[in-house]
Amino acid sequence: MLSTCKTQESITSQPAESFQSFSEDGAWCWFSDPRAVYLNGKIYAGWVSSDGSIMVASYNEKTGEKKEVNIFSEFNKDDHANPSFLILPDKRIMVFFSAHSTLGRGETKAAITYATTKNPEDITAWEVQKRLEKNAEGPRKFCYNNPVMLSEENNRIYIFWRGGDWKPTFCYTDDFGKTWSTVFSLIKSSVSNYKRPYVKVSSNGEDEIHFAFTDGHPRVEALNSIYYMKYKDGKFYKANGDIIGTMDSLPIEHEECDIVYDAYAEYLETRNGVRGWIWDVAFRKDGNPVIAYAQLPEESSHDYFYASWDGKKWINSKICDAGAFFPRFEKLKDAREPEPHYSGGVYIDHENVDVVYYSRPIGDIFEIFKAETKDNGLTWKEQSITSNSKKDNVRPFAIRSAGEKAKSQVLWMYNETYTHYKDYDTRIKIDR
């Protein structure tokens, strides 16, 4: 399939080096979200520094004032450990983080660490950090933290993560983290119990939670499909409204969820196994979900896709070619690139889901682009944000809740060097 992007150079396009740095030292993975949120004129974001410290910062768009706080020094030198954010009803800020399936510095037992600011909209003073040590049985500890609060459930906070058995896991609190429920397994496969789905989570903050996920890691799954389900009022649904389970019948069977992209069907039709990997899930104002993901025909050839539920069926459309993997691994003789499925990254603007941000290479350098569709993803008009950069720009994140109020819309990683998720020298850039 040919790319449907039409390139239109933006008048603001410039080398990444010309953009401000939100941080001079920071990296993140894309499975703990939100990584950045907008609230009353300020942007709050978090990342992992090159020495493994968990960092939180705020930026006042009006005054230009930036504050940066190290909330746990040298915790876990791994970009998977980045913090995720939740804004409480009183506008205090809550963050969650954990080490990458291991113990962080000073830990004798694995946990999700969480902390809340003492005052609204102020990251300079924090309450004592707390720990959630409950987990699914298994040796893999914690990874990837995705908090959600539902106002229609009396501000119940759900936290989703990859559990000790490498399966999607969650629990909830009804008192803002003082106590937590029992732990639930979210998804399993009775057909293939070894599967370990990678999950993206999105919520309207009121009564719905949307999930998009895979069979597993594309390194392991030769045919890695993309799935979808939605939670509302104690039940889990397909996009067409069919109930597939309840809180009382967890975990949800993997194969009973919506298949958004069917890698097995693709194989039967073409005899070519094309792996998928999930990047984001969001939803339109009418509640219909949209999903951004990558198809990986080859390790050196990635494509970005956009899936949209039109009320009756899933429509999958290619956004553009995505190039190859971005880590620059110094290969030894006969050595294999350790992360050949790391695309530059594609992310949906959750306030306007007809807009996506992504990273793809121009020549040898990955640049950041914005693309917009007017026909539900069938065609896209592309604008470059960065151009003629000296270094790679990857993993863009559309600042959550920014909308038209915010001057800045996207943050991304600028790589001085990136060899591996434990070996990086990167910055966080902002589009201003």
The total of other beta-carbon atoms located within 10 Å of residue 67's CB is 14
Q: Is the pLDDT of residue 2 over 80?
A: no
Q: What pLDDT digit, counting tens, does each position of 156-205 carry?
A: 999 999 999 999 999 999 999 999 999 999 999 888 878 899 999 999 99
Closest CA to 30 of 14, 42, 13, 48: 48
Cα-based angle 413, 419, 422 (whole degrees, multiple of 5): 80
Q: What is the pLDDT of residue 334?
A: 57
**What is the dihedral sign for C-alpha 375, 377, 378, 384?**
positive
DSSP labels, 358-386: EEEEETTEEEEEEEE-SSTTSSEEEEESB
DSSP labels, 225-253: -EEEEEEETTEEE-TTS-EEEEGGGPSEE
Beta partners for residue 417, in sequence order:
425
Confidence of residue 6 (pLDDT cuts 50, 70, 90): low
Look-up of token digits 């003492």: 118
Q: What is the pLDDT of residue 237?
A: 98
Q: How far apart are CA 240 and CA 230, in angstroms?
A: 10
Q: What is the pLDDT of residue 140?
A: 93
Query: How many residues are given for the chain?
Result: 432
Distance of CA 145 to the CA centre of its chain: 10
The total of other beta-carbon atoms located within 10 Å of residue 236's CB is 24
Provide mean pLDDT across the span 227-249.
98
- 239, two tokens: 């996009």
Q: What is the pLDDT of residue 1?
A: 35
- 310, two tokens: 């039109």
Q: Is the pLDDT of residue 9 over 80?
A: no
Q: Which domains does the chain have, with CATH numbers?
A: 5-430 (2.130.10.150)
Q: What pLDDT digit, counting tens, does each position of 318-352 carry?
A: 999 999 999 998 765 556 788 999 999 999 999 99
Q: What is the pLDDT of residue 332?
A: 53
Q: What is the pLDDT of residue 69?
A: 98
Provide mean pLDDT across the span 361-381.
97
